[in-house]
């Protein structure tokens, strides 16, 4: 009997490992480029803004295609979709590693890795659900996968900086390709019982409208780096995106009235708790990616640091994320998810304020000793680690089991959209000519602080009794933990 239990635990562990690694590598890809922007720009004959566009388009592609990816998981099968996503992602990493110019980097990194991520991430959570049937083991599996996402994003600057300085920024792409190959080999032991019942049909028009709408809005923000915030070209692009998003909502409502299955059910957007939770998710990833980008580029372009030193500078934030992110489940047993999110935003906001103010008080950001940046970065990391998993739990626990597939896709889409906005907004501020170059970094950090305060307000507005729903909802929350 004891041997049977050990054998089952070993099997479940071998199933979880490739799922955890898959979430890790996708999160790593979103943050490791920040410390290599100057090296990439120099090698490819472009500027920092061009590399920033590549980073933004990667997360944007994931955000735009994550919901369709969730639908394809039910149409094609979880394990098959997972493998297809891994193959596309791995090929994209190889293309990125050998990119001779910025255009090929866009194809390999921004689009192929983005599409691969959108296909492989939804099956990660569904495969964990079908393989871990009891509540306790499933909660631990989801906790491990969620922690891997935070750890991947946190280690990205450090590992990416080391590889860029010691070998080349291209080595980071080869590392991703190697990890994907390992995942493909490990994934052979994953079992998939298959989709039960009738397979859904993909809403092609809804997919195109949602992707196009998000694309135009984010590209409009990116265009501020070229045309400025008050340019007609910028706001025309944003307006086109918002109009297309409006058409998307009209489309899915029309399909529902006709009895057809839409890409996303409209009732998902009528839940106040979920909506506020999604705002906190969006802001968290916008703050994480935006702040890491600003700090990494500042130390490379203004202070002249190498990629590895720029990665070491943000290590205090990485340590903070690891300390609290890996203990998120234990912290949740002592207090509510809502309080953890509020605490996280307070720590993050205060931390970023210290990053901005301490060096200025000491000797100015350009000349201040690097140690003046450490307290704020560490506090910021603690705050982000506290709230990342809590926001996901708040969102998913707002719905019963039957809606978990849709809300999971939307949740991950919103997180990636936040990452896109983070690099797009701060990147557009960094290239502004309104202020001297050194002052634009302070302005970008102020913008991130303001966004963090908005997230804090959204967290405070989350209903206090959000976790006191039905047993079905509580079960869903445990499954999503």
pLDDT at residue 320, as a whole number: 87
Rounded distance between C-alpha atoms, residue 197 and residue 195, angstroms: 7
Top-ranked range on mean pLDDT: pick from 129-143, 153-167, 416-430: 153-167
Q: Are residues 142 and 284 in the same domain?
A: yes
Q: Are residues 272 and 246 in the same domain?
A: no
1 in a structural domain = no
Q: Are residues 40 and 133 in the same domain?
A: yes
Q: Do the beta carbons of residue 415 and residue 436 sit within 8 Å?
A: no
Q: Are residues 358 and 243 in the same domain?
A: no
Instruction: List, in order, residues 6 or more apart from 86 with CB less than 8 Å away.
Output: 22, 116, 120, 180, 183, 184, 187
User: Would you state the structure tokens that stand for residue 121, as one six-digit string?
Assistant: 């991430």
pLDDT at residue 478, as a whole number: 35
Q: Are residues 166 and 306 in the same domain?
A: yes
Rounded distance between C-alpha atoms, residue 133 and residue 125, angstroms: 13
6 in a structural domain = no
170 in a structural domain = yes
Rounded distance between C-alpha atoms, residue 44 and residue 223, angstroms: 21
197 in a structural domain = no
4 in a structural domain = no
Q: Are residues 358 and 425 in the same domain?
A: yes
Boundary residue ending a domain (229, 244, 262) = 262
Q: What is the CATH number of the domain that holds 355?
A: 1.20.1250.20
Q: Are residues 42 and 94 in the same domain?
A: yes
**pLDDT over 60 (residue 435):** no
Q: pLDDT tens-digit profile of 41-76? A: 989 988 888 888 888 888 888 888 888 888 888 788
3 in a structural domain = no
What is the mean predicted confidence (pLDDT) over 270-288?
A: 90
Rounded distance between C-alpha atoms, residue 231 and residue 229, angstroms: 6
DSSP assignments along 442-454, one per residue: HHHHHHHHHHHHH
- 463 backbone dihedrals φ, ψ, rounded to 5°: -55, 140
Q: Structurally, how many domains does the chain consist of?
A: 2
User: Would you state the structure tokens that stand for residue 223, as one six-digit string?
Assistant: 């265009």
Nearest to 296, CA basis, from 168, 413, 153, 436: 153
Q: pLDDT tens-digit profile of 116-141? A: 999 998 888 778 777 776 656 665 67
Domain of residue 281: give its range.
Answer: 11-191+263-480
Q: Do the beta carbons of residue 393 and residue 280 sit within 8 Å?
A: no
Q: Are residues 284 and 372 in the same domain?
A: yes
């Amino acid at each position: 009997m004891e041997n049977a239990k050990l054998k089952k635990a070993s099997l479940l562990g071998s199933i979880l490992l490739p799922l955890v690694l898959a979430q890790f590598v996708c999160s790593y890809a979103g943050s490791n480029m920040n410390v290599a922007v100057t090296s990439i720009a120099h090698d490819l004959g472009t500027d920092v803004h061009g590399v920033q566009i590549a980073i933004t388009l990667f997360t944007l592609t994931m955000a735009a295609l994550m919901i369709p990816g969730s639908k394809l998981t039910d149409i094609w099968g979880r394990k098959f979709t997972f493998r297809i996503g891994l193959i596309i992602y791995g090929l994209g990493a190889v293309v990125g590693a050998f990119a001779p110019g910025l255009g090929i980097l866009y194809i390999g990194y921004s689009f192929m890795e983005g599409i691969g991520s959108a296909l492989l991430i939804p099956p990660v959570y569904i495969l964990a659900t079908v393989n871990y049937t009891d509540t306790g083991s499933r909660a631990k599996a989801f906790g491990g996968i969620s922690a891997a996402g935070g750890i991947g994003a946190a280690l990205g600057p450090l590992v990416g900086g080391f590889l860029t300085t010691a070998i080349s920024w291209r080595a980071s792409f080869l590392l991703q390709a190697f990890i994907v190959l390992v995942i493909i080999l490990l994934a052979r032991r994953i079992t998939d019982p298959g989709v039960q019942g009738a397979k859904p049909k993909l809403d092609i028009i809804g997919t195109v409208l949602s992707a196009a709408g998000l694309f135009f809005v984010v590209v409009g923000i990116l265009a501020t780096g070229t045309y400025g915030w008050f340019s007609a070209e910028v706001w025309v692009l944003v307006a086109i995106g918002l109009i297309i998003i409006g058409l998307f909502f009209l489309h899915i409502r029309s399909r529902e009235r006709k009895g057809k299955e839409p890409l996303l059910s409209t009732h998902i957007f009528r839940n106040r708790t979920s909506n506020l939770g999604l705002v906190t998710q969006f802001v968290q990833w916008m703050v994480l990616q935006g702040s890491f980008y600003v700090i990494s580029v500042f130390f490379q372009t203004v202070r002249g640091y190498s990629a590895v030193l720029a990665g070491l500078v943000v290590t205090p934030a990485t340590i903070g994320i690891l300390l609290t992110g890996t203990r998120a489940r234990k912290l949740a047993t002592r207090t509510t998810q809502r309080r953890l999110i509020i605490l996280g935003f307070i720590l993050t906001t205060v931390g970023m304020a210290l990053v901005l103010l301490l060096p200025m008080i000491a000797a100015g950001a350009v000349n201040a000793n690097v140690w003046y940046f450490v307290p704020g970065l560490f506090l910021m990391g603690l705050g982000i680690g506290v709230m990342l998993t809590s926001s996901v739990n708040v969102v998913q626990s707002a719905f019963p089991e039957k809606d978990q597939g849709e809300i999971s896709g939307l949740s991950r889409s919103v997180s990636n959209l936040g990452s896109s906005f983070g690099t797009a907004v701060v990147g557009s501020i960094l290239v502004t000519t309104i202020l001297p170059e050194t002052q634009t970094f302070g302005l970008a950090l102020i913008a991130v602080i303001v966004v963090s305060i908005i997230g804090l307000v959204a967290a405070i507005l989350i209903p206090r009794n959000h976790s006191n729903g039905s047993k079905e909802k509580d079960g869903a929350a445990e499954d999503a933990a």
